[in-house]
Amino acid sequence: MNEPLISIISPTYNHRLYIGKCIESVLKQTYINWEMIIIDDFSSDGTPEIIEKYIKKDKRIKTIRHTENYGIYRLSDSYNEALKIATGEFIAILEGDDYWPKDKLEKQIIFFNNDKVILVWGKGAYINAKGKIIRLMSFPRISLRSKSIYYNKPIGMALKKLLFENFIVPTASIMVKKSALLSIGGFKQPSNISYVDYPTWLELSLKGEFCFSNDILGYWRIHSSQATATFLNEQIFSRSKIAFEFCKSLPDDFKKSLEINDRTIEVRYYWFEGRSNLLIKNWSDSRNDFIKVFLKGSLFMKIKGIIGLFSSYLKKDIIKYLAKIINRKLYNGIENEN
């Protein structure tokens, strides 16, 4: 493969403390045939001025400056604005508070020598507000048995796991064929959902093969003002809802071929809806959700449903306390539950 152009989409909002490091990590790439499109969502902290300084230094950097704040529920509008003007054959994602290792693009682009591959992701590391690496993110242990799932071979196989867990993380490690994104109408974001990655990956799982790189391809910054921290519990419930709706849209024969069980995904949806209702102290609705978990779930889910029912009747979230005692991830206020 020659050196095709890679378009980097970088949404940012009030990232004055981080946007410089983000852009510098792109400028230091050993792979040089790229363009960077920064979408500034009406920042008010000096972020635009920093971006402009870099634009003057390197013509490969472009910016879209919003005249109003779109916010997290219009992320797809921001991403698709950049996608519309992107001229590269491939799309990489780098949010304004994250950054890359210098050989990220060089190591990743080679996976697309296989024409069937439409999406590549790799390892990531958590960093704190000061840029210090905290720890590696969890990543799949790909065995001969599980390789077909993580590599989406045959096409759609990734759904066996993707419907239960968004394993394609972090977004800073992602690279996608632009043509594949265009074939699904661009980045996806259902209404009242605060992210675009998961619904987009679900759609792409029906379009081509995936690949996983064993290299660290992105650093994901953890800080108190980031959207993921602010909207975490909502995002956890939303993932199960998206999976439930997406699964219902799939042909029955296709689901049967993948051995995807509608009921399992439905029960998971009601479990998370019940947890969400507990968090907002909507005791009656949470009770109804946990009843459905008990009636339709496996033995393990029936036990969880009973615990949820007790919580709703006692009007106290006892799940998180029991989780500490039995050392299980029954409570999902901090981490993704799977």
Q: What is the mean pLDDT of the chain?
A: 91
Least confident of 87-96, 239-248, 270-279: 270-279
Q: Is residue 186 within 8 Å of residue 82, measured between CB atoms?
A: no
Lowest mean pLDDT, pick from 138-142, 195-199, 259-263, 288-292: 138-142
Which are the contacts of 336, defined by CB distance < 8 A and separation ≥ 6? Answer: 165, 166, 236, 239
pLDDT mean over 232-253: 87
Q: Which residue has the higher pLDDT, 316 or 106?
A: 106
Mean pLDDT of 73-99: 97
Q: Closest Cα to residue 55, out of 3, 14, 19?
A: 19
Give me the pLDDT at residue 332, please: 38
Predicted pLDDT of residue 338: 30
DSSP helix/strand/coil, 19: helix
Instruction: Domains for the chain: give ranges and CATH numbers.
Output: 6-223 (3.90.550.10), 232-326 (no CATH)
pTM (two decimals): 0.90
Q: Counting beta carbons within 10 angstroms of the beta carbon of residue 178, is it exposed (0 to 12), middle (13 to 18) or buried (19 or more)?
A: buried
